[in-house]
Structure 1
Amino acid sequence: MSILVVGSVAFDTLETPHGKRERVQGGAAFHFAMAASFFTDVRVVGVVGEDFLPEHEETLKKRGVDTTGIEHAEGKSFHWAGSYMKSLSEAETLATDLNVFGSFAPKIPASYLDSDYLFLANIDPVLQLQVRKQMPDVKLVAGDTMNYWIADHRANLEKVLAELDVLLINDGEARMLAGENNLLKAARKVMEMGPKSLVVKHGEYGATAFFCDRSFTGVSHITLPFRAPAMPLDEVVDPTGAGDCFAGGFYGYIASQPELTPAVFRKALFYGGVMGSYAVESFGTERLHTLTRDDIEQRFRTLQEISHLELEA
């Protein structure tokens, strides 16, 4: 099964206690695609500038990612600079240069219209909705957002939420979106806005999935949440893109399965955690360049042991 991801393909300048890197390949769609490509076919729609060279695109192609949908425009690519010197859990933004991404208007190639799954990465909800309307026949739609869209573009975001099967956000965003500090109550309110399922990311503390029976059967009764642990790590080199890699592992695994069941959903949370944990071990997606499926399965089994849970039950 193929996933179409629409979002940013960018360059990041990163500063962490482990050093500084200039113009590392990044962006939500880039991180997502790299992680998801270990599980299924991935197609990317984004825009880059003249500084995005063939060798940069080759990084995705080596992972089998279809880059037909990456538009090359005059100007420079989206660039973000951030520092984690104060805290590894939250970046301090030093610069945000939208460049060609500022006028991004997603163009879906004809060859992408038969995509089975759609992931709307963190972009303007107006653009997310436009893409959703161009892909009416996908099996499943998942998406991401952030506090900026929640606070200042609420009306448009709510239109997107009504179209989602799965929403992936962090715990702070979930509480902000719902206007509710209690996470369980917040999840219920968010799911009332449209998403059939909600995945709340807790960074180094794992992730929680909230889903109702209509996630699988069309019934709207909300069931108890499921919590997956994070992988304990000796050190974190660069947290940038960890959430997008989590989403890629999570959704990539779902797309690799013949049907979505509660067991598949739970396993997907674990695979998301695995990909997020590998992502933070090096700057950007460098660790994913040498990663193997055997590495992924080994860490998945470790998470199973940590949880003391039989996932097939």
Structure 2
Amino acid sequence: MRTVLTGSIAIDRIMVFPGRFSQVIQADKLHVLSLSVLIDQLKDTRGGVAANIAYTLALLEEKPVLYGSIGKEAASYIDDLAKMGINTEFVHFSDLPTATFTVMTDQADCQIGGFYPGAMSDASLLTFNEFNEEDFFVISPHDPDQMAKQVQVCKNKKFRMFYDVGQQVSNVSAEDLRAGMDAAELLIVNDYEMGVLVKKTGWTHEEIISKLKTCVVTLGEKGCKIYHQGHPPISVPAVPIDKVVDPTGAGDAFRAGFLCGYVRDFPVEECAEYGSIAAAYCIGQLGTQTHTFTTEEFFARHKTNYAKE
């Protein structure tokens, strides 16, 4: 089985604000908001949801298929991913600049960001003709219209699918959100995104869960809750860490760890534990593809944090 990752391949420009947004934003002045703050860290790193997931899967010695679009000026980015064992043969090189995500993070781990799609707009040139029902598909955030089309292809071809709407949840129509969850077997969202899904679709939390084989709601430092058909909800604690350096990409790392176990039909609780370990490695570094570990280190950390008595 191949894990096929659709979604963004991007450059992340990460800024760190040494204060808190809540201290500089006046709640009663949001309608005339004009804000400039002094940042103390600035770093351009490689990112994009699909590429981030692929990166952490490669650290786990997986060989996912990266299926997205990137600007020709960033060819070296794809070359480096290929050297990690990631299948990049289906990546499209666009004349448009590479997609860019600019984000500012404060000391409470709150974030303000903006996304320029650039080459990601060429996603319409990607088809699923190279794949078959033996593959597992991850529909990660990118162009909303193309996400909807890819969901429909998966549904029509009866492909197994993880609907990873993520930060595009506010930009995808209610109709397309419903279609995505109807076609998927797996959904992973944070608690805020789940709230948006409930509000936009008109479905209750329980109705959303009932449509999926597995639904995972991540809760930051509180870990996550898993809803798996035929089983009571399972709470999995987060991995304790000394310091959160940068939360950007933690969700992508979690998804990679989860997928590593999920495609092997491991128990969902163990999949979430893998996800939490991967996320802990990610947030200990600035950037979404700067964390490293060996599989020996990864599973030793898993044993330390989740060993069953």
TM range (shorter): 0.7 to 0.9
TM-score, scaled to structure 2: 0.83
Q: CA deviation at 1:232?
A: 0.8
Q: CA deviation at 1:112?
A: 3.9
In structure 2, the residue matched to 1:271 is 274
Aligned pairs (5 A) from 1:40-119: 40-54=62-76, 56-88=77-109, 90-93=110-113, 95-105=114-124, 107-108=126-127, 110-113=129-132, 116-119=135-138
Could you say if the C-alpha distance between residues 152 and 227 of structure 1 is closer, same or farther in structure 2, counting changes exceeding 3 Å? same
Could you say if the C-alpha distance between residues 52 and 244 of structure 1 is closer, same or farther in structure 2, counting changes exceeding 3 Å? same
**Identical residues among aligned pairs (%):** 20
Deviations 1:8-52 (A, max 9, x none): 000011022685343310010011111222153200111111321
Unaligned runs of 5+ in 2: 19-39
In structure 2, what is the Cα distance between the partners aligned to 1:6 and 1:149?
Answer: 16
**Contact kept? 1:240, 1:284, Cα under 8 Å:** yes
**Contact kept? 1:2, 1:42, Cα under 8 Å:** yes
In structure 2, the residue matched to 1:203 is 220
Q: CA deviation at 1:113?
A: 3.8
In structure 2, the residue matched to 1:9 is 9
In structure 1, the residue matched to 2:45 is 24
Aligned pairs (5 A) from 1:1-313: 1-16=1-16, 20-37=41-58, 38-54=60-76, 56-88=77-109, 90-93=110-113, 95-105=114-124, 107-108=126-127, 110-113=129-132, 116-135=135-154, 136-138=157-159, 140-146=160-166, 148-150=168-170, 153-179=173-199, 186-192=204-210, 194-213=211-230, 223-255=231-263, 257=264, 260=265, 264-288=267-291, 290-305=292-307, 309=308
Could you say if the C-alpha distance between residues 178 and 160 of structure 1 is closer, same or farther in structure 2, counting changes exceeding 3 Å? same
**Contact kept? 1:168, 1:199, Cα under 8 Å:** yes
Q: CA deviation at 1:171?
A: 0.7
* Corresponding residue pairs, total: 283
In structure 2, what is the Cα distance between the partners aligned to 1:243 and 1:152?
Answer: 19
**Contact kept? 2:71, 2:98, Cα under 8 Å:** yes
Q: Mean Cα displacement is larger for which, 97-106 or 43-52?
A: 97-106
**Contact kept? 1:3, 1:115, Cα under 8 Å:** no
In structure 2, what is the Cα distance between the partners aligned to 1:130 and 1:240?
Answer: 28
In structure 2, what is the Cα distance between the partners aligned to 1:69 and 1:76?
Answer: 18
Q: Give the residue type in structure 2 aligned to 1:34.
A: Y
Q: CA deviation at 1:147?
A: 5.9
Deviations 1:133-154 (A, max 9, x none): 444254x311212465346611
**Contact kept? 1:207, 1:227, Cα under 8 Å:** yes
In structure 1, what is the Cα distance between the partners aligned to 2:106 and 2:49?
Answer: 22
In structure 2, what is the Cα distance between the partners aligned to 1:30 and 1:234?
Answer: 27
**Contact kept? 2:8, 2:50, Cα under 8 Å:** yes
How much is the aligned-residue C-alpha RMSD, in angstroms? 2.5
Deviations 1:54-89 (A, max 9, x none): 2x113311221001121111121111111112531x
In structure 1, what is the Cα distance between the partners aligned to 2:289 and 2:171?
Answer: 33
Could you say if the C-alpha distance between residues 36 and 108 of structure 1 is closer, same or farther in structure 2, counting changes exceeding 3 Å? farther
TM-score, scaled to structure 1: 0.82
Q: Give the residue type in structure 2 aligned to 1:96.
A: F
Could you say if the C-alpha distance between residues 112 and 147 of structure 1 is closer, same or farther in structure 2, counting changes exceeding 3 Å? closer
**Contact kept? 2:222, 2:237, Cα under 8 Å:** yes
**Contact kept? 2:140, 2:166, Cα under 8 Å:** no
Could you say if the C-alpha distance between residues 247 and 300 of structure 1 is closer, same or farther in structure 2, counting changes exceeding 3 Å? same
